[in-house]
Chain A
Amino acid sequence: MKFLETLINGFSIGGIYAMIALGYTMVYGIAKMLNFAHGDIIMVGAYVIILFLPINPVVAIIAAVVLCALLGISIEKVAYKPLRGASPLAVLITAIGVSYLLQSLAQIIAGPNPKLNNLFEKLFPKFLETHRGGIIAIGSFSIKLSTIITLACVAVVMIGLTLFVKRTKTGRAMVAVSEDKGAAQLMGVNVNSIIMITFAIGSALAALASTLMMLDGQKFAVDMGSLPGIKAFTAAVIGGIGSIPGAMLGGIVLGLVECFAQMIGLGEYTVAIEFSILIIVLLVKPTGILGKKRREKV
């Protein structure tokens, strides 16, 4: 039973990582940059939810998604776009700067202390009356509602993104831009707007991730996005960066590792274990589990 619970727990945490990793993979695949600020957009999303929660929980979530998408677009416009064509190192350092900027701004506005959230209580007051702590019990087996929501959300987003990329004109333009910006531009694709859309989608996914984190009962803190952000990047790399199913797979793998490490009593060493797996994966199969062949032309 403990095994099953750990498994489900792992899927829950892994689902959140997967959601963040999807955003990372989108941005990384198309803009070819490691958006260090992605984790901090999650934090902004959480803060927006807290801010709008007194009005209505659904409005709060929508507001978070919209505002984060706008934030993503403006960050791209202000900080990354001027550097398009410059060295990737410069872009990476700017991204680090943006991450710092968001964190310190949040600290000034929201204060340094973590804030409790009651998103779950506001969203499902009726459900809580019948199920204590939001837990559904079937016999001796119990599962949290938030876990089910997380997994459903991630599955829907993954399928939606895949269809979007495969079936829509914009999606195909995204693939074209990711393969070769110059050629895509020559074929009449507006590279600027494609990158803008990518950032909007990526940041909206970050807002969704923060919603899931809040539903799971996490407190709002200024640095709440940093470590999950890095871990999600790890997940994206493990799954194969640029691959949408890969991000999902990597996230779940990471969540499972985290929970099973806790189960066997290595809870303190989860970070070391996860990052060791990352290094091993990169050494053995640098493009991740679902990655693909690429060769540099000489």
Chain B
Amino acid sequence: MAKLIDNIKTFVNTKILKKAHKREAIESKYVLETRNLGISFGGLKAAQNVNLKIEKNEIYGLIGPNGAGKTTVFNLLTGVYQPTEGAFYLNGEELTGLPQDKINHKGIARTFQNIRLFNNMTVVRNVMVGLTNQPEYKCSLFESILRLPKHFKVEKEMRKRAKELLRIFDLEDERNNLACNLPYGKQRKLEIARALATNPKLLLLDEPAAGMNPNETEDLVNTIKKIRDEFDMTVLLIEHDMKFVSGLCDRITVLNFGTVLTEGDTKTALNNPDVIKAYIGG
């Protein structure tokens, strides 16, 4: 019964009164800064005291053994889970507690470990969904219903922009295929293209190279570097492939059991005896 009352209270507070804690801005030279970010599910501390400081244009790796809490951190940063401790800031603006779509609007976009595309839509429309909230493609529901000139103009521009994005990933020729009919590697690329369409400041990639062969992986390394250079992008990625990580990431953070094991530039961190111990045990 007490639990039920608690539930009702939480419901009223969060859903009806929209009481979120007050967000504040800080001085920060980092694109992403997290301060003691953590979440516990019941008694389980899935992540705690995660402090990340990611500089602009960096490709930053988040690694660790299975179950270390890497994806949990991603879910915290994108609002899928609400942190129970700590806060995170994008360019000094606190985003803790915002819903997923608002966080995306503020400039964090992500891909998923198990690919999540809009399977029954064509490739180009997948990307156009990402463009929906961009201010330059604003078009109200009434303008769309009444088919005012604005609607046609916006649709045309969105399609053009989507094609440009697809060209970067060599997906332009597939643009009218259903997303679910693409081969695996291309689906991963499409997911990145869709994330980029939302014009993020920080791109989170959850195991982008999983299930790819060496050629595809190498191709992906080049693509991510290209994204960083062309879009002036900052990238945070989770990956298990150490060759991939050491070939791509400037700095990394190693997680184990929900806490930070070590951090620093890729080579040093990977050679840290603690890290080796965490990975191969003993």
Interface residues of A, Cβ cutoff 8 Å to B:
283-285, 289, 293, 295, 298
Contacts and interface: CB of A to CB of B under 8 A. Distances in A.
Given A289-B4, A298-B80, A298-B112, A284 B75 contact: no
Contact of B75 (A289, A293, A298): A298
Nearest to B12: A284
A298 B71 contact: yes
B7 interface: yes
A283 B7 CA distance: 11
Contact of A284 (B7, B42, B71, B80): B7
Contact of B4 (A283, A285, A298): A285
A285 B75 contact: no
Nearest to A289: B4
Interface residues of B, number: 10
A284 B112 contact: no
Contacts of A295: 41
Interface string B195-222: 0000000000000000000000000000
B184 interface: no
Contacts of B11: 283-284
B8 interface: yes
Contacts of A293: 42
A298 B116 CA distance: 9
Nearest to A283: B11
A54 B270 CA distance: 84
B-side interface mostly: helix
A-side interface mostly: loop
8 contacts: A283-B11, A284-B7, A284-B8, A289-B4, A293-B42, A295-B41, A298-B71, A298-B112
A293 B8 CA distance: 16
A90 to B, nearest CB: 16
Contacts of A289: 4
A283 B11 CA distance: 9
Given A293-B42, A298-B112, 12 more contacts: A283-B11, A284-B4, A284-B7, A284-B8, A284-B11, A285-B4, A285-B7, A289-B4, A295-B41, A298-B71, A298-B75, A298-B80
Contacts of B42: 293
B180 to A, nearest CB: 14
Residue in A284, A285, A298 with the greatest tally of chain B CB atoms within 10 Å: A298
Interface string B80-103: 100000000000000000000000
A278 to B, nearest CB: 16
B131 to A, nearest CB: 23
B126 to A, nearest CB: 18
A295 to B, nearest CB: 8
Contacts of B41: 295
Nearest to B4: A285
A233 to B, nearest CB: 21
Contacts of A283: 11
A284 B11 CA distance: 7
Contacts of B112: 298
Nearest to B113: A298
A283 B4 CA distance: 12
The 10 closest A-B pairs by CB, nearest first: A298-B80, A285-B7, A284-B11, A284-B8, A298-B75, A284-B7, A285-B4, A298-B112, A289-B4, A298-B71
A285 B6 CA distance: 11
A261 to B, nearest CB: 22
B69 to A, nearest CB: 13
Contacts of B80: 298
Interface string B106-122: 00000010000000000
Nearest to B80: A298
Interface string B4-47: 10011001000000000000000000000000000001100000
A270 B17 CA distance: 31
Nearest to A298: B80
Contacts of A285: 4, 7
